[in-house]
A and B are shown apart, each in its own frame.
Chain A
Amino acid sequence: MSHAAHVVFPAHRLDVEGLVAERGERLLIQGLGFSLAGGELLQVAGRNGAGKTTLLRILCGLSRPLEGRICWDSVPVQHLEDGPAAHLAYLGHTNALKDELSGEENLRIQSALQGRRVGRDEAWEVLGRMGLGGHEDLPVKFLSQGQKRRVALARLLLVRRPLWILDEPFAALDVQVIEVLRSALEAHLAANGMIILTTHQAVPIKGRQRTLTLGKAA
C-alpha cells in the first residue's frame, strides 16, 4: 500500500531533556532525555506501571512533568504559536469516537476540531483504505472493537500531523488490521513523519527505529 505518501513533512525535530515525572507520589521517570528526527520511530518499552502512558501523556502536553523540557524544532512546546499540541496526533487507549455518530461524521468533526477541514469524499476514501468501505455512514456503535479502532486510526491519517503518539496501537487488533496499521506507520515514516509508540507486541516495522526502556532501575 503506497497511500498517505503524497504528503511529505518538512524536517522537524523533537528534543526531550531532563524529564522528571511522578505518578501518585512515586517517581516514575527520572532524568529522561532523547531526540527524534523526521522519519524515526521510538518505541517506548517497559513493564506494566513503568510510566509508558505517563510519558506519552507528558509528550502530548496532557500531563505536566515535574521538571524537564520538551522542545519542538528547538522551541519549548509551551511557547509554540499554535499551542503545545498542534504538531502531534495522539491515540490513547480510548478511540475518542462518539457512538451515535457515523464514522464519516466522527472523522470530519475530529479533523475540524484539530484545525483541518475534511470533505466527505476524503473521509470516505480514508475509511475505504482502512477496510471500512460500506460502513462509512453507520453509527459507530454498530461497529466491532477492531472496526472502531480502524476509524480512530483513520483520524491519524486525516489530521496530517508530523508526530504521532500512539499508546498500544496494536492492542486488540486482528492480524488484518495490524497489517493495515503497520503499512500506515511505514508510510508515515517514509513521509518524514515521526512516531512514538508503546507496544507489548513485536511488530516488525521498516524504517529507522530505537527502543527506550523505562523503569530499568527498579
Chain B
Amino acid sequence: MNGLATALITLLRRDLILALRRRQDALVVLGFFVVVVSLFPLGVGPDPQLLRSMAPGVLWVSALLATMLSLERLFSDDFRDGSLEQILLAPQPLSLLVGSKILAHWLITGLPLVLISPLLGMQLGLDGTEILTLMAALLLGTPILSLVGAIGAALTLGLRGGGVLISLLILPLYVPALVLGAGAVDAVMYGSSAQAHLSLMAALLILTLLLAPWAIAAALRIMLD
C-alpha cells in the first residue's frame, strides 16, 4: 500500500473509531431526525392523506436539519486539539484527506438517516415504491449534504456562533438537493417516473464530489493561516 492510500484509510478509520467511542454524537443526529419527523403528525393532525402528501418534504427538510446539527463538529474538534494543523502538514494532498473525513462523516450521520427513512416513511403513510424512491434519493442526496455542509463548516472554523453561521451559509445551498429529492418521491406518488430527478441528483453529486473537497481544502488553509 502506498503512502496516500495508507493516509486516507488511516484518517477514515480514525474518524470511525472516534465516532464509535463517542456514540452519542451520531445518535443525537439520528434521534433528532426521528423526533422532528414524528412531531409533524402531532402538529398538522392525523389526516392520512395530508400526511402522505407532505411526507417527502417533511422527511427531506428533517434530513437537512439533522445534517446541519452534525456539521459544526466536523472540523472544530480537530481544530481545537491541533490535529487539523497536523493534517495540513501531511505530505498528502489536503483535498483527498478532506474527502476521507467527509466519507467518514457521511457513514456516521448520512447513512443512518438513509437506513431509518423507510420506517419514518411508513409512519407517514408512504407505500413500497415511494419508500424505495425515498431511500434512493436520500442515498444520492445525503453525501451532497455532507460535502456542501463541510464547505460551511470549514469557512466558519474558529468563529464565535459558528453553528448558526453554518446554517445561514449552507441551507440556501441545500435547495437543489431538497427540490430534487422531495420531487423524486412526489413524482412517484403522482404516477410518473422518478428517473429524471434521480439522474439530476446523481449529476449534482458528481459535481459536488469534484468541486467541494477542493473548496474545503482552500477554506481550511485560509482559516488556519
Q: Interface on A for B, CB 8 Å cutoff?
A: 60-64, 82-83, 85-86, 88, 90, 92-101, 105, 109-110, 112-115, 117, 139
Task: Give Cα A92–Cα B85 distance, bound, in whole angstroms.
Answer: 9
Q: Which residue of B lies closest to A87 (CB)?
A: B91
Which residues of B, 169-191, contact A by the 8 Å Cβ criterion?
none
Q: Which residue of B lies closest to A108 (CB)?
A: B10
Q: Return chain B residues, CB-CB under 8 Å to A63.
A: 225
B81 interface neighbour in A62, A82, A97, Cβ under 8 Å: A97
A117 interface neighbour in B6, B21, B88, Cβ under 8 Å: B6
Task: Give Cα A62–Cα B87 distance, bound, in whole angstroms.
Answer: 11
Q: What's the dominant secondary structure at chain B's contact region?
A: helix
A95 interface neighbour in B14, B82, B97, Cβ under 8 Å: B82
Task: Give Cα A121–Cα B93 distance, bound, in whole angstroms.
Answer: 29
B92 interface neighbour in A94, A99, A101, A115, Cβ under 8 Å: A115
Complex contact B89–A62 (CB within 8 A): yes
Q: Return chain A residues, CB-CB under 8 Å to B82.
A: 92-96
A95 touching B81 in the complex, CB below 8 Å, given contacts A64-B225, A100-B22, A114-B91: yes
A96 touching B86 in the complex, CB below 8 Å, given contacts A82-B91, A114-B91, A117-B6: yes
Q: Return chain A residues, CB-CB under 8 Å to B21.
A: 100-101, 139
A101 interface neighbour in B17, B85, B86, B97, Cβ under 8 Å: B17
Q: Interface on B for A, CB 8 Å cutoff?
A: 3, 6-7, 10-11, 13-14, 17-18, 21-22, 80-83, 85-92, 97, 224-225
Q: Which residue of A lies closest to B10 (CB)?
A: A112
Q: Return chain B residues, CB-CB under 8 Å to A95.
A: 81-82
A115 to chain B, nearest CB (A): 4
A94 interface neighbour in B10, B81, B91, B97, Cβ under 8 Å: B81
Task: Give Cα A92–Cα B83 distance, bound, in whole angstroms.
Answer: 10
B165 to chain A, nearest CB (A): 21
Task: Give Cα A115–Cα B97 distance, bound, in whole angstroms.
Answer: 13
Complex contact A113–B81 (CB within 8 A): no
Q: Return chain B residues, CB-CB under 8 Å to A109.
A: 10-11, 13-14
A96 to chain B, nearest CB (A): 4
Complex contact B10–A115 (CB within 8 A): no
13 A–B contacts, CB within 8 A, in A order: A62-B89, A62-B225, A85-B91, A94-B85, A100-B18, A101-B18, A112-B6, A112-B7, A113-B7, A113-B87, A115-B3, A115-B7, A139-B21
Task: Give Cα A85–Cα B128 distance, bound, in whole angstroms.
Answer: 54
Q: Which residue of B lies closest to A155 (CB)?
A: B86
Task: Give Cα A93–Cα B85 distance, bound, in whole angstroms.
Answer: 11
Q: Which residue of B lies closest to A92 (CB)?
A: B82
Complex contact B90–A115 (CB within 8 A): yes
Complex contact A114–B17 (CB within 8 A): no
A85 interface neighbour in B18, B80, B89, B224, Cβ under 8 Å: B89
Complex contact A96–B14 (CB within 8 A): no
A113 touching B85 in the complex, CB below 8 Å, given contacts A85-B91, A100-B21: no
Q: Return chain A residues, CB-CB under 8 Å to B87.
A: 113
Q: Return chain B residues, CB-CB under 8 Å to A115.
A: 3, 6-7, 90-92
